[in-house]
Amino acid sequence: MFSSLILAPFADESARHSLAAVIALAISAGPVGVFLMLRRMSLVGDAMSHAILPGVAIGFLVAGLNVFAMTLGGLAAGLLIALLAGVVTRTTELKEDASLAVFLLVSLALGVVIVTVNGMDIEHLMEFLFGETSANMNQDKLLVIAANATVSTLVLALIYRPLVLDCVDPGFLRTVSGSGGIAHFAFLALLVLNLISGFHALGTLLGVGIMIIPAAISRFWTRDITAMIAIACVTGALSGIAGLLLSFHAKIPTGPGVTLVAGVLYIASILFGSVGGLVWRLFPGRHLEA
C-alpha cells in the first residue's frame, strides 16, 4: 500500500528529477514569496509570471523546445520589465503596482501575439501553460531549476538585511545607506529567476503558486519573519511532493496538482492556524490578567 502509493511513482528517473526540482523550487521560491507577501506584492508576482511569456515564446521560436533558450528569453523579458517598472516607480509619482501592471499587460499581449502568429500546436500550448505531467521532467530543466535555486538563495542571503529594512522602515534605510534601491532590483531579479523555475516545473500559469501560497500559509503560524521563511519552504516542499503524487495517480498535470495541495494546506491554515486562525477566534478562551 505505502510502496504503491508513495514509492512506485518515483521508480521512473524523470519522476525523481521532478521530485528534486519541486523541492529545490520550494526552498528558493518560499522566501521570495514571503517578501512578496510582506511588500503586498503577491499579485505582482502572479502578473509577473505572465510577463515572462513573450521572452519564453521568442526563445521557443529561435531554438524550439530548448530549455536554455526559453530560460534566457524569459529571464531577459522579466528583468527588462522589472527594471523599467522599477525606474518608473522610483522616478515618477506612479506606484509600483500601477507601473508594473502597465508593462505586464503590454508584455502579455506581445507574448500571446508571438505564440499565436507562429501557430504553436495545442498540445505544446497546454504544456506551456499548465506544466507537464510528472513523467516529462528532463535533466536540462532540472539543471536550470537547481542553478536558479542556488543563485536565488545565495543572493537573497546577501540582500536580506537591506531588504527587510526596506520593507519595514524604508525612510530609515535611506538615511543610513543607499542599498535600498539595489536590494529592491535584486529582489525583482530573484522573482523573475524563480518564476522561470516555476514555469519549467509547473507551467506559466501555476508556476507562481508554489511561491505565493506557502508564504500566505506561513502568516497563519508565526509572527516572526525567520520562522515564516522556514514554514514557507517546508509547506512548499510538502505541497510539491504531495502534488506530484496526486498528479501521478490522478493523471493530471503537475501545475494544478501542486497548487491544489497547497490550496488545501492554505484552507487548513486559515481554519486552524495558531496566529489568527478562524477556529481559535470562535473559542478564544478567557482574557488574561495582563
Partner 1 sequence: MTVQLQFRDLTLGYDRHPAVHHLSGAVEEGALLAVVGPNGAGKSTLFKGIIGALPPLAGGIERGGLAVRDIAYLPQVADIDRSFPIGVYDMVAMGLWKRAGLFGGIDADGREQIRKAIATVGLTGFEDRALATLSGGQMQRMLFARLLLQNARVIVLDEPFTAIDAKTSEDLLALVRHWHGEKRTILAALHDLDLVQAHFPQTLLLAREAVAWGATRDVLTPQNMLKARQMCEAFESEAAECKVPEAV
For the segment 140-159, give every residue that binds partner 1 (CB under 8 A): 158-159
Task: Return the residue of 57, 167, 258, 262 that touches partner 1, per CB under 8 A.
Answer: 167
Cell of 280: 481559535
- Alpha-helical runs (H) found in the chain: 2, 13-38, 42-51, 53-63, 67-91, 96-117, 122-130, 139-168, 170-176, 179-202, 209-218, 225-250, 254-272, 278-282
Distance CA(96)–CA(98), nearest Å, equals 6
Min dist CB 170 to partner 1, Å, is: 6
Task: Return the residue of 8, 38, 63, 230 that touches partner 1, per CB under 8 A.
Answer: 38
Cell of 16: 525523481
Which stretch in 50-58, 116-124, 171-179, 207-215 sits in contact with partner 1 by CB under 8 A?
171-179
Neighbours of 196 (CB within 10 A): 27
HSE-CB of 226 using CA atoms within 13 angstroms: 2
Q: Does 94 sit near partner 1 (CB under 8 A)?
A: no
Report helix, strand or coil for 275. Answer: coil
Task: Return the residue of 7, 98, 106, 176 that touches partner 1, per CB under 8 A.
Answer: 176
Task: Return the residue of 177, 263, 270, 277 that touches partner 1, per CB under 8 A.
Answer: 177
For partner 1, which is the closer residue by CB, 105 or 170? 170
Q: Does 276 sit near partner 1 (CB under 8 A)?
A: no
Distance CA(95)–CA(88), nearest Å, equals 8
For partner 1, which is the closer residue by CB, 252 or 280? 280
Q: Does 164 sit near partner 1 (CB under 8 A)?
A: yes
Q: Does 222 sit near partner 1 (CB under 8 A)?
A: yes
Residues touching partner 1, count (CB under 8 A):
23
Which stretch in 4-12, 20-28, 224-232, 255-263 sits in contact with partner 1 by CB under 8 A?
224-232
Q: Does 171 sit near partner 1 (CB under 8 A)?
A: yes
Residue 221 dihedral angles phi and psi, to the nearest 5°: -120, -15
Residues 212 and 263: beta-carbon distance below 8 Å: no
Min dist CB 172 to partner 1, Å, is: 7
What is the x/- site pattern for partner 1, positions 184-203, by CB under 8 A?
--------------------
Q: Does 225 sit near partner 1 (CB under 8 A)?
A: yes
Name the region of 40 (left: φ>0; alpha: ψ -120 to 50; beta: rest): left
Q: Which of 26, 25, 29, 32 is nearest to 187 (CA)?
A: 32
Q: Does 172 sit near partner 1 (CB under 8 A)?
A: yes
Angle (CA) 185 188 189, round 5°: 90
Task: Return the residue of 84, 108, 179, 238 that touches partner 1, per CB under 8 A.
Answer: 179
Q: Does 170 sit near partner 1 (CB under 8 A)?
A: yes
Q: Which of 252, 164, 269 is nearest to 202 (CA)?
A: 252
Min dist CB 175 to partner 1, Å, is: 5
Q: Which residues bind partner 1 (CB under 8 A)?
A: 38, 158-159, 161-162, 164-165, 167-172, 174-177, 179, 222-225, 228
